[in-house]
Structure 1
Amino acid sequence: MFVGMSPMRVSFAGGGTDMPEYYEKYNGSVVSTTIDLFTYLVYNPRTDDSIQAFASDFESYQGLKKFKDLEYQLGTEIAISAVKLLDFKQGGDYLISSNVKPGSGLGGSSSLAVNCVKTISSLQNKKFSNTEIAEMAFHIERNILNHPVGKQDDYITAFGGFNFIDFNSNGVKVSPIKLSSSVSSELQENLMLFSMETTRKSSDVLKNQLELTKNENKDTLESLHYVKKLSEELHDSLKSSDLQNFAEVLNKGWNAKKKFTKEVTNDRIDKIYELALSNGAIGGKITGAGAGGHILLYCEKNKQNQLKEKLKKLKLTFVNFNFHSNSPKVINLYEHK
């Protein structure tokens, strides 16, 4: 039995500029990190050539089928896409799960896509680079399953750690951000993650954003240009250990992101965010495409208890997390001790 583990992420600035429709014309950049919430792919070899897949988060099951008969079904479609892309015909049982609900805004779909490519290629004894894994995962999501996604989540997960990522027509460059232990600890201590207990299909938000970008909508493009500059400013803040400005850039970025498309926010989200700012938070953002999932806030420790109590009354759940510095891994339970 083999278990693949792939981290999820929080993106701090630049989201949206990782769409090919944007960066191939204007270049893009993001700042992000992986965190210790994961997707899991369990593979158990069978003695026949049949394949079945279970997705516990979706309560979905693809019954025993031969390779040629595999179908793309909700919950198992990413794993089956990877099986087909890599032409992995060996029989097996696949179990797919994660630490969060679908639609969390923490990059779960891309984490799973990277996980599936990494795990299946490892079973085939293929040695792909992190870039190759990220590109294959993106191909699965964007070209096979037609999800309107950008590239950042695939690269964040495939490389792991804290990174500044450049996107342009010539390729993608991942530059690790080296934080001192004291700055990393302070940043970790002051970041708070809350589940809004509402999930959403990111595709509903991103489809409209993608169309507006393609059509060169003035407001959307101006906002994307601005958040790209903010990613550079936030990167500089980290390099100079200026966490006050880091928090302020988060706030600027969220206000800009709301102009991408009207689906990014709603009355409840606006109420939550304003309440957070009036109870100690300096800045923050909705994770992922927006419209639901999780909210990330920067709040100094002496004000966090008050903030937790206020948000609890709005039915938000505090989520413990830590920065995670490693890329995905595959464990062979037959050999693991």
Structure 2
Amino acid sequence: MIIRSRAPVRIDLAGGWTDVPPFAEREGGAVVNLTINRYTYASLHPRSDGAVRLRSADYNTYVEAETVRRLEYDGTLDLVKAALKRLQIEGGLELITRADAPPGSGLGTSAALGVAVIGALNALQAERLSAHEVAALANRLEVEELGIAGGKQDQLAAALGGINYLEFGDHPPISSPLPVSAGVINELEKRLVLCYSGVSRLSGDIIQRVQQAYLQNEPRTCAALRTMRELARQVKSCLLAGELEALAPLLRDNWACQQALHPSVTNADVARLFAVAEANGALGGKACGAGGGGCLVFFCEADRERDVREALRAAGGQIIDFNIDRFGLQTWRVDETTGRVW
């Protein structure tokens, strides 16, 4: 029997960064994000010999060990190893992972992968985890096991799916699914354009710089974080009211705040793609995730999204088609002998 799982990546519309400590814990943060049908996958094949074989289909990297306990962190598939360790998995297995999103995309791919891996491994256990528990554990894998700086919105999005308003503080995250109309979903899918800049970035480096600026009470950084938290609340309201024309200026304001956090959030390539998009019908946009490259998302003038897409493609951007995912983490099984799926 094969156990498979998938978890979606996300686009953060407003408030990203405010889920990252120490700001989130000291002042409280808020984020609006939506998950898209670009997924991370895990395929788990139990083995009877006790041996462990891990493989990334994206990078064609392998890890093999006689038992789970022989695995060591060495920079290769460490997130998968951390999940095996924290879930105290015993017995042999082969685990294969892959992702639809490009590397360093700013779409929360590593967090979504952690959620997918935990989902598959947890299917082996008698005690099942809730979506919130999976998200919390996936966050701990990165922060506690691997020492990777970051917030909590990515794991929650991947586990829950849909469009969510998330609140953070010195308490467990609070998630509120936004019950938007089908028309709002359709309009978002039509008028949002997602573009990969072609520039991969290391979010941990940027996050550490912004954290340090906040701890030093740098006025521009502190003001930007507080404004982004308020922008998330405004985006939530405009989505619930179906007033999508208000989304463009909120995205513009959020991008201005992102750039105020630290100079490394943008660069010449990103600025060039913004200029191209805005000259061809984009009303507002922002960088996804930490910025510094990765993906950019734009809300376009009605019926001009094709102009924006073609102009960005001609300028070297990679357009990523998507629809909004509504399910979050999913697991299923495949019978290796008969091929039956359930």
Q: TM-score normalised by the shorter chain: which range applies?
A: over 0.9
Q: Which amino acid is 2:273 matched to?
A: I
What residue is the counterpart of 2:308 in the other structure? 307
Please identify, of 93-102 and 8-17, the stretch whose mean Cα deviation from structure 2 is larger.
93-102
The 1:152/1:160 distance shift into structure 2, 3 A limit, reads same
CA contact (8 A) 1:57 1:75 kept: no
What residue is the counterpart of 1:88 in the other structure? 89
What residue is the counterpart of 1:134 in the other structure? 135
What residue is the counterpart of 1:246 in the other structure? 247
2: CA distance, partners of 1:317 / 1:185? 22
What residue is the counterpart of 2:341 in the other structure? 336
What residue is the counterpart of 1:210 in the other structure? 211
What residue is the counterpart of 2:98 in the other structure? 97
CA contact (8 A) 1:2 1:330 kept: yes
What residue is the counterpart of 2:184 in the other structure? 183
CA contact (8 A) 1:39 1:99 kept: yes
CA contact (8 A) 1:104 1:199 kept: yes
CA contact (8 A) 2:288 2:297 kept: yes
Shift of residue 304 of structure 1?
A: 2.2
What residue is the counterpart of 2:31 in the other structure? 30
- In the alignment, does 2:227 pair up with 1:222? no
What residue is the counterpart of 1:108 in the other structure? 109
Can you list the C-alpha shifts for 1:39-66, whole angstroms capped at 9, x where unaligned?
A: 0111111111111111122332112332
2: CA distance, partners of 1:213 / 1:295? 24
2: CA distance, partners of 1:75 / 1:244? 45
Can you list the C-alpha shifts for 1:61-100, whole angstroms capped at 9, x where unaligned?
A: 1123322210224351111100000110220111111112
Alignment of 1:156-175 (within 5 A): 156-175=157-176
1: CA distance, partners of 2:240 / 2:141? 34
1: CA distance, partners of 2:216 / 2:152? 20
1: CA distance, partners of 2:219 / 2:144? 27
The count of aligned residue pairs is: 337
CA contact (8 A) 2:276 2:315 kept: no
CA contact (8 A) 1:194 1:316 kept: yes
1: CA distance, partners of 2:64 / 2:178? 44
1: CA distance, partners of 2:111 / 2:190? 26
Shift of residue 301 of structure 1?
A: 4.5
What residue is the counterpart of 1:294 in the other structure? 295
Q: Which amino acid is 2:229 matched to?
A: K
Can you list the C-alpha shifts for 1:237-292, whole angstroms capped at 9, x where unaligned?
A: 11211111112101110111011111110011111112211210011111111111
CA contact (8 A) 1:57 1:101 kept: no
2: CA distance, partners of 1:101 / 1:302? 27
CA contact (8 A) 1:192 1:297 kept: yes
What residue is the counterpart of 1:278 in the other structure? 279
1: CA distance, partners of 2:246 / 2:76? 40
Can you list the C-alpha shifts for 1:222-244, whole angstroms capped at 9, x where unaligned?
A: 10001001001111111211111
Q: Equivalent residue of 1:302, what SS? A: coil
Q: Which amino acid is 2:253 matched to?
A: K
Compute the TM-score of the two structures, normalised by the length of structure 2. 0.95
The 1:73/1:300 distance shift into structure 2, 3 A limit, reads farther
CA contact (8 A) 1:58 1:75 kept: no
**% identity of equivalent residues:** 28
Q: Which amino acid is 1:147 matched to?
A: I
Q: Equivalent residue of 2:123, what SS? A: helix
Shift of residue 213 of structure 1?
A: 2.3
Q: Equivalent residue of 1:142, what SS? A: helix
What residue is the counterpart of 2:156 in the other structure? 155
Cα RMSD (Å) of the superposition? 1.3
2: CA distance, partners of 1:284 / 1:13? 10
Shift of residue 19 of structure 1?
A: 1.1
Q: Which amino acid is 1:139 matched to?
A: R
2: CA distance, partners of 1:309 / 1:325? 28
Q: Equivalent residue of 1:94, what SS? A: strand
